[in-house]
Amino acid sequence: MSFENLSVSLRSHVATVTMRRPPVNAVDLPMYAEIKRAFSTIRDIEPEARVVILTGEGRHFCGGNDLNEFATMTPDNTPVRMLQVREAFTAIYDCALPVIAAVRGVAVGTGVALAGSCDMVIAAESARFSLPEIQVGAMGGAKHLSRLVPQGVVRRMHLTADMLTASELAPYGGIVSVVPDDRLLEEAHALAGRVARHSPVAIRIAKRSLNQIEYMDLRSGYQFEQGLTAELSGYDDAKEAVAAFFEKRPPRYTGR
């Protein structure tokens, strides 16, 4: 499957989706469509993948939405355009595999929403985040940012459009770690590897579970998880995990 603005590669069960739209990987409508296609079909593109890393080529993760499109936006054409944008973010959030954002340089507006759609975020020391929508006649990104930082920080960033560094945001828990720029992808692969070592079936079920229970109450959420335990018990990998534990050996997962 070919893309104009993305590249997809595979290493050790980890797929890497790289945004490639110089100079800052600003996203236009065709690129949103490609993001949707890549993440909704990643298991077809890379059948051996168990985890996905999303990153940007060059010095920056994503400089936001292409402002040339904002200049032509009207109340009439906005609904169709915004649907395409939402579908791209949703494809990442609903991706069958866990997604790790590896962020260097700026993550602005759309960049924040892309990172906030992922399951985990690892950031380079150069990473900086902002929601400048209030400056450019748009709204959006605050809800995605709320998956990374508390509401007070969301409101500060949304209402001021201030840019904050990854080191400033990391203490709130939404960023796994802040690492030197030249080690970003290496550290992202190490994190992905700690996920990919597990059963591919269990990984996919766990991703589905986390998405479903995120906004459920405690009792309903746990009941849903128990139902997935019953589903997982029907797979050979579940029995292999228990056998490997008792036999004190590494598990040999087949994905069945």
* Structural domains of the chain, ranges and CATH numbers in brackets: 6-196 (3.90.226.10), 200-247 (1.10.12)
Residues 6+ positions from 69 with CB-CB distance below 8 Å: 28, 29, 81
165 alpha-carbon distance from chain centroid: 19
Query: With b meaning 16 or more CB within 10 Å and e meaning fewer, what string describes 120-156?
Result: bbbbbebbbbbbbbeeeebebbbebbbbbbeeebbee
**pLDDT for 138:** 86
Of the candidates 57, 65, 102, 59, the residue with the CA atom closest to the CA atom of residue 192:
102
* Beta carbons within 10 angstroms of residue 237's beta carbon: 19
pLDDT for position 24: 97
At 171, which helix (H) or strand (E)? none
Q: What is the pTM of this model?
A: 0.95
Selection from 246, 175, 237, 176 nearest residue 206 by Cα:
237
Q: How high is the pLDDT of residue 137?
A: 83
Low-confidence stretches of the chain (pLDDT < 70) are: 1
Q: Which among 43, 44, 45, 89 is positioned nearest to 203, based on CA atoms?
A: 43
What is the reported pLDDT for 145?
98
Count the alpha carbons within 13 Å of 249 in the hemisphere toward its beta carbon: 7
Residue showing tokens 């866990």: 98
Instruction: For tokens 């800052």, name the residue.
Output: 24
Contact 168, 148 (CB under 8 A): no
